[in-house]
Structure 1
Amino acid sequence: MVLGLAGLASAVAAYVVVSFVQVVRQQNGIAEHAEEIFRSPATFVAGNPDGDVSVVAFFDYNCPYCREGAPALAKLIANDGKVRLVLKELPVLGRDSEAVARIALASIPQGKYLDLHQMLFVEPGRVTKEKALRIATSLGLDTAKLQ
């Protein structure tokens, strides 16, 4: 099928409208779930808990892009005392990711979540439950409470 100039313009206009609708839906979804996204008591907040700017990071410890971006987020909260970094576990890369996310979240009451979080991102290779528990042990966490 060959589109003429008018057909191409119509296709581009339709794409722009669909893209705009998707953006509006995403914004509405964020607004609708803002309290859960930004203020959930089950979420760990790094940096300034009362910061003027909230950054929400969704991540999987086995995601190479998340691993690459983690140092920049750590630097951001270290250098800007006004940033509130909301860390959201999003284990989408398999069972290992799910197990590691559960271990990380279970470390919050022991006060070592951020240390564990940072070490999980620098662990070479795929992060597994066994690796996460080994790192947790090295941090002095009670691993029985993490499982």
Structure 2
Amino acid sequence: MKNSREISRDGTLLTVSIPMAIRKRGGRKLVVSPAGAEPWGLSRPRIDNTLLRALVQAFHWQHELDSGQHATISELAAALKLDRSFVSHMLRLTLLAPDLVEAILDGRQPPTMQLQPLMRGFPVEWERQRRNACWFVKVWL
């Protein structure tokens, strides 16, 4: 889709229409270019604190399970006073491909990657996660 421009009859007003979407990330609004559009310039890394905190928490909980502090997810959830299902969904974040985890830590994750769609599920195969960088939005919106 191309940008459209319109000049008023008297030549004093220029209207420019640019296709874009506004998404919420980490409690803030972010302008996202449409799929297939050229990037609007180099964007600096943007750490999504909500996603980052969830990822760190998931790896911490996984460490507690691996080290034997808690024998099961149910026991971990009870100790945390959280719902077992929520804890299970959070622990799935530990299945993200290492390069995607690194991108989240560096603030270089795809702009469409958000916590809520990830909590609903994602492909566990790392290659599918990498190949379908925009599946976070395509599948869930």
**TM above 0.5, one fold?**
no
Q: Which has the higher contact order (CA 8 A, sep 6+)?
A: 1
TM-score normalised by structure 1 residue count: 0.26
Give the structure-2-normalised TM-score. 0.27
Q: By percentage of residues, which structure has more helix?
A: 1
